[in-house]
Amino acid sequence: MVEIDADALLPNDRVKSAVLDGDVTQLSRGAANRYAEVGDTFDLNGTEFEVTAVDVQTLGELTDEDARREGSPSLEAYKARMERVHPGDFEWDETSEIVTYRFGRIE
């Protein structure tokens, strides 16, 4: 178990706030980089979190449940959000590999 920098895993303040609020408990990132391993921890404003799962999968394997964990009401809404926040350099390709990080508050 290693303490990681939350800035490396969580890309912006909106995501960090959603994690603190409990609205985001999972984040998927491109598979080119590995940001955490199971058991790693990170701190957000004095609140400790632990990475509980790290899975390599494709965009096509994501489900509505995954989308809800990432703060979207559905997979379609998640797709639209990804295309909106990554203008010009992102295309939803069902075969693109991603790494999904699931995390939770340490009580």
pLDDT tens-place string over residues 35-47? 999 999 999 999 9
Q: How confident is the model at residue 63 (pLDDT cuts 50, 70, 90)?
A: very high
The rounded distance, in Å, linking the Cα atoms of 40 and 51 is 5
**Which of helix, strand or coil describes residue 46?**
coil
Q: Tell me the per-residue pLDDT of 69-103, one tens digit each, with 9 for 90 and over.
A: 999 999 999 999 988 887 777 788 999 999 999 99
* DSSP state letter for 73: S
Amino acid identity of 98? I
